[in-house]
Structure 1
Amino acid sequence: MSIKFSILITTKNRLTDLKITLARLASLLNREDVECLLYDDASSDGTVNFIALHYPHIKIFKNKTSLGLIHNRNVLLKKCLGNYAISLDDDAHFLSQNVLENIVDYFELHPRCGVIACRIFWGKEAPFSMHTNEVAKRVKGFVGCGHVWNLQAWRTIPDYPEWFVFYGEEEFASYHLFKKEWEVHYVPQLLVQHRVEVKARKKDADYAQRQRRSFRSGWYLYLLFFPLKTIPKKMVYTLWVQIKTKVLKGDLRASKGLVLALFDVILHLPRLFGESNRFTVNEYQEYSKLEETKIYWQPENEK
């Protein structure tokens, strides 16, 4: 049987989480029409040996030195053999049933859909209810921890921008897809649990670095894609929001990330203008009408 689905996972020194993910994907990994590709970004926790011993059918790639999440995702998307590429973080797994069947059915019914954005629950414990009244719809973008590529669409746009390092690559792809007349659809039938407590991230050692990369990726995207006349207002507004919600409230690590992000933007200005692929005014207006990216989901009676 030919490969129809490729499950793509990147990891670095998170073997404990990865073990859980692979165990919960077992029913998918054992199918003949499914391949799994895993990219180990220079782990030192024995990930490669564990995979070779317990999952010999998984195709594993390893960096001797870290090259970053975005580089690794680009490689996996080029190496996979399926028609559809399911991208999951190493701490994410499906909760819904009939995942593959729902993927095929949806793409066949919506031939201009380039990416399916899954419904994502963020939390260490599974939600008390998986029911939702949400319906599938077209949206602006998708989240890295749980989405599915129609690889025909992926091959029509540039690779993810590795120089972003972390954050922003999904929006970059979404803008290019829009310009190529592909669509991103939120499909709530596909429910993913991302086993992360978002509020706890403020305590992580890399919090300031995450803030820096998050801030700058948003500004990078404005400068790469938005009509020139819209950029100053967008830049000033988002800067003021960060000052009001982070700097003035005494979040010193976020403040440091904000300052460094501004330097990053200045440093990359020649590249940002040289590689720009701007929306026309009409394209920008049409894109702006789309529903926002669905990032977080909670059971209805918790909202």
Structure 2
Amino acid sequence: MIKFSILITTKNRLEALKSTLKSISHLIDSSDVETIICNDGSKDKTTDFIKTNYPKIKLINNQKSKGLIFSRNRMLHQTTAEYAICLDDDAHIVSTYTLELISNFFKANERCAVMAFRIFWGETLPQCIDYTDTNTRVKGFVGCGHVWRMEAWKSIPDYPDWFVFYGEEEFASYQLFKNNWEVWYVPDILIHHRVYLKGRKKHKDYRVRLRRSLRSGWYLYFLFYPITTIPRRFLYTLWVQIRTKVLKGDFKAFLAIVQATGDLVINSPRLISNANRLSKKEFLDYSKLADTKLYWRPEDS
């Protein structure tokens, strides 16, 4: 059995993918690593580039785009590895001895299902990447930089592809908690996610991203939270969006809120049939865990 797998989903971002593959080429060439890329309906010659330049990579092609979550499920079902490293096409591993760190940590922590990596979000990596934070059990993990113990992945339901985008990691984290698995933040492994966060609001997909982000959060409430806690949390998040965006003239945000609310209603049958609620004690225990480490900055250390 292959010990490590690197899983990357891509769609129409060939230049970003080229940079990622170049940065992790030493891992791709390793004898105990398989690399799987799911090309989600790209129109930019991604397939030709991979076949020509990286013949060792296992390529999955979705002829029509099926979405990020569908693609991740497909790769996770195909890998035969013991551990699966998940990256975005615009993110790469900076740290050295990554495979050894992963193997040693999982061996030392038998109930760890997912290792969440330290992630720097920005176009340019800081000169100083030293850190002082420590290994911490956390609530969840970030899609662009983590590794699965595949035994744990196989013990829970697939990512919900009907979420389309956002929320799948939190979905898995709740399922893992219900099954007595753990998620750990391990800062020894650093990921550079090469994005400009402040510029996203100006992107054409701002409204779509906000809609999907809102609805996924609401989906999770209805799937996992004790029923008595849902109304207050739902109304609070709704008010925050209205106060911080709509009342300040963000009409795109208003449309996103309306659409997300409609999505919630449309998918209510799915939410009811897939609910796996935490008990009040489980919810309290889960709430006491450290928050998911979304971003790392040098000043945080």
TM-score band by shorter chain is over 0.9
Partner of 1:112: 111
Question: Structure 2: how far apart are the matches of 1:20 and 1:155?
Answer: 31
Question: Structure 1: how far apart are the matches of 2:79 and 2:4?
Answer: 9
Please say if 1:225 is aligned against 2:237: no
Q: What's the CA shift for 1:274?
A: 1.9
Residues 176-215 of structure 1 correspond to what in structure 2 (within 5 A)? 176-215=175-214
Please say if 1:99 is aligned against 2:102: no
2:245 match: secondary structure: helix
More moved, 244-253 vs 228-237: 244-253
Partner of 1:142: 141
- AA at the equivalent of 2:163: F
Cα offsets for 1:50-99 (capped at 9, x unmatched) = 00000000000001111111011001001011100000000000111111
Partner of 2:153: 154
Question: Structure 2: how far apart are the matches of 1:294 and 1:228?
Answer: 27
Question: Structure 2: how far apart are the matches of 1:276 and 1:38?
Answer: 31
Question: Structure 1: how far apart are the matches of 2:269 and 2:30?
Answer: 48
- AA at the equivalent of 2:13: R
2:165 match: secondary structure: coil
Cα offsets for 1:7-61 (capped at 9, x unmatched) = 0000000000000000000111110000000000010100000000000000000
Question: Structure 1: how far apart are the matches of 2:82 and 2:273?
Answer: 33
Partner of 1:268: 267
Question: Structure 1: how far apart are the matches of 2:126 and 2:35?
Answer: 26
TM-score, normalised with respect to structure 1: 0.98
Partner of 1:12: 11
Give structure 2 stretches of 5+ with no counterpart. none
Deviating runs (4+, > 6 A) in structure 1?
A: none
Cα offsets for 1:78-130 (capped at 9, x unmatched) = 10111000000000001111111000011111110000010000011112211
Question: Structure 1: how far apart are the matches of 2:187 and 2:132?
Answer: 9
Residues 1-303 of structure 1 correspond to what in structure 2 (within 5 A)? 2-300=1-299
Question: Structure 2: how far apart are the matches of 1:227 and 1:300?
Answer: 37
TM-score, normalised with respect to structure 2: 0.99
Question: Structure 2: how far apart are the matches of 1:275 and 1:96?
Answer: 38
Question: Structure 1: how far apart are the matches of 2:214 and 2:127?
Answer: 34
Q: What's the CA shift for 1:164?
A: 0.4
Cα offsets for 1:207-254 (capped at 9, x unmatched) = 100000000000000000000000001101111111111111112212
- AA at the equivalent of 2:201: K
Give structure 1 stretches of 5+ with no counterpart. none
1:248 match: secondary structure: helix
- AA at the equivalent of 1:159: D
Identical pairs, percent: 55
Question: Structure 2: how far apart are the matches of 1:3 and 1:273?
Answer: 38
- AA at the equivalent of 2:218: W
